[in-house]
Amino acid sequence: MTGVMVVTGGSRGIGAAVARLAATRGYRVCVNYVRAAAQADALVAEIRAAGGEAHAVQADVADEADVERLFTAVDERLGRVDVLVNNAGIDHVCAFADLAAEDLDRVLAVNVRGPMLCARAAMWRMSTARGGAGGVIVNVSSISALYGGLPRDVVYAASKGALDAFTMGLAREVASEGVRVCGVRPGLTYTEMWESDIGAEAAARMAATGVPLGRIGRPEEVAAGVLWLASAEASYVTGEMVNVSGGRELNVRSG
């Protein structure tokens, strides 16, 4: 399936890799961002230079008015959305007992409320019961949802656990409306989030001993999983979470 794809948090990391790959597959891509305007604009320019079509749209996915403005802009510039990739997410690393309520609220707002608001806006446009032609929603979760996350990172893990439950529940609810809902769970993947949290070298050391494949993943590898779930090749897949983790969950589950 090709058409119009919205990638939230699309200016860098996994989101940017998804947007690049989608453009090569013929999608018209909306690159959503909050603050990284220069990176989003550079990515759009890169896609256009390669012959693709893309637009950058600033919006905070945790804000209802911003979400509606985002999807209205997509309607006007690219056409009605066919695929939504809920990739936007943030982290806040600290001991749970020291967590400020406002930091808790922000993580849950972006990582849980945001995907829900975006999925609702997409459903208004995709659902065959509402005049749409169907579509796909792919939620970017995390392997941490399976084991509670690293120490000092339990709120992020909890937010991704909520996203997993939402993925499964929504998939069941909207299957009869022509919409598939799936997710990917990245493991240790080199992104700016990991760089700011523990650093690339520490992540690489962790991967060497904690990932069966022995290395940290690349955003492009996660993007390939996202694009497969969005494609006609996955037309009989819904409600599933695909682990793109080098097998990390095998180790964390076994202790």
Q: Which of 149, 176, 146 is nearest to 164 (CA)?
A: 146
* Catalytic annotation present for 156: yes
> Tokens 């604009």 identify what position?
41
Measured distance CA(231)–CA(208) in Å, rounded = 32
Catalytic residue among 27, 33, 156, 190: 156
Question: How buried is 210 (Cβ within 10 angstroms: 0-12 exposed, 13-18 middle, 19+ buried)?
Answer: middle
DSSP designation for 235: T
> Tokens 């120490």 identify what position?
151
Q: Which of 67, 2, 62, 7 is nearest to 31 (CA)?
A: 7
Which long-range contacts link 64-68 to residues 24+ away (Cβ below 8 Å)? 64/117, 67/114, 67/117, 67/118, 67/121, 68/121
Q: What stretches of the chain show up as alpha helix (H) in DSSP?
A: 13-24, 37-49, 64-77, 101-108, 114-126, 144-147, 154-174, 192-197, 200-210, 219-230, 248-254
Catalytic residues: 156
